[in-house]
């Protein structure tokens, strides 16, 4: 046994091993509390905003040593995409001149990216970066008809109706028709803005009225009524407790046939 000096109080004591550092458990406890107080008093400076921060409760000392930012907000800003990161994911098609977005696309084909902690449409972000903000109520239209194209020369600011007129959906195809393809007459506008061909509408309504009146004269509108007797044997119907009808003689015949089949089947199995 040798004499050692306590790390906490400085008192000399007789130790049993070389690793003996404390003279008692109280000195060990005081030393640990002193270490914890020193760690709590230590501060670091955030690399982004310059704010000083200390170790939070429940965080380990090793985690505090590796921390570079004061909180999640500053740490998230360093991982946010910038407009330069978006421009790196654009490939130029030399044949068409389109700037194709090769990143994430949504179900309808438009490019999408994370910018300033929110999801944005790539073609709108590119337009705002080079041309300025988009006026409220207007949309970005692709003149090249390529939805993931980000070339500013292939984009224009239009209204919703103008954007729909240049698309290839069924509404736009019919909207581009200057006259009725059936009779060649001009379209008539309804108060809600929709169009219709007045001569075709009158002709369709006249044909419908003619068919309706002819069927009404001939008794075409016949309500199907239940038959009073069985169509197999001609006997009267009986009524089940749930209200449905059935023919009692025909029902007995069917039951007899099924019973004969059942007996013959099991008799053959017994043989």
pLDDT, tens digit, 9 for 90 and up, residues 82-133:
888 899 999 999 999 999 999 999 998 999 998 887 899 999 999 999 999 9
pLDDT at 132: 92
Confirm if 222 and 215 have CB atoms less than 8 A apart: no
pLDDT at 139: 93
CA angle 49, 55, 57 (to 5 degrees): 125
pLDDT at 1: 57
pLDDT at 121: 93
Higher per-residue confidence, 79 vs 74 = 74
Q: Above pLDDT 70, what percent of the chain?
A: 90
Please state, in angstroms and rounded to a whole number, the distance separating the CA atoms of residues 38 and 52: 16
The confidence band for 271, taking pLDDT boundaries of 50, 70 and 90, is very low
Residue 219 has pLDDT above 70, yes or no: no
Please state, in angstroms and rounded to a whole number, the distance separating the CA atoms of residues 190 and 193: 5
Tens-digit pLDDT profile for residues 43-66: 888 888 888 888 775 567 777 778
pLDDT at 224: 55
Structure tokens at 208: 């419908």
Biggest CA pair distance of the chain = 126
pLDDT at 93: 92
- Which of 54, 50, 40, 41 has its CA nearest to residue 74? 50
Q: What is the 3-state secondary structure (H, E, C) of 78-106?
A: HCCCCHHHHHCCEEECCCCCCEEECCCEC
pLDDT at 260: 87
Mean pLDDT of 235-243: 84
Three-class DSSP category at 60: coil
Confirm if 123 and 111 have CB atoms less than 8 A apart: yes
Question: 10-14, 143-147, 193-197: which range is least confident on average?
Answer: 10-14
Confirm if 134 and 156 have CB atoms less than 8 A apart: no
Please state, in angstroms and rounded to a whole number, the distance separating the CA atoms of residues 61 and 47: 19
């Amino acid at each position: 046994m040798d004499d050692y000096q306590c790390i906490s109080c400085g008192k000399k004591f007789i130790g049993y091993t070389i690793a003996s550092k404390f003279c008692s458990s109280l000195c060990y406890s005081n030393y640990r509390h002193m270490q914890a107080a020193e760690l709590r008093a230590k501060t670091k400076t955030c690399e982004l905003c310059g704010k000083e921060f200390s170790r939070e409760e429940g965080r380990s000392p090793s985690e505090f040593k590796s921390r570079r930012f004061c909180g999640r907000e500053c740490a998230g800003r360093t991982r946010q995409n910038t407009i330069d990161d978006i421009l790196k994911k654009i490939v130029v098609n030399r044949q068409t001149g389109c700037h194709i977005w090769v990143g994430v696309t949504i179900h309808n084909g438009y490019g999408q990216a994370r910018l300033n902690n929110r999801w944005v449409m790539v073609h709108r972000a590119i337009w705002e970066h080079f041309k300025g903000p988009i006026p409220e109520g207007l949309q970005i239209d692709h003149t090249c008809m390529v939805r993931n194209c980000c070339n500013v020369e292939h984009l224009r600011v239009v209204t919703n109706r103008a954007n729909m007129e240049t698309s290839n959906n069924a509404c736009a195809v019919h909207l581009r028709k200057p006259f009725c393809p059936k009779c060649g007459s001009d379209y008539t506008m309804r108060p809600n803005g929709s169009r219709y061909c007045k001569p075709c509408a009158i002709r369709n309504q006249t044909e419908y009225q003619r068919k309706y009146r002819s069927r009404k004269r001939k008794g075409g509108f016949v309500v199907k009524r239940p038959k009073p007797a069985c169509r197999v044997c001609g006997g009267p119907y009986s009524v089940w407790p749930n209200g449905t009808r059935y023919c009692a003689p025909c029902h007995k015949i069917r039951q007899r046939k099924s019973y004969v089949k059942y007996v013959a089947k099991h008799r053959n199995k017994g043989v």
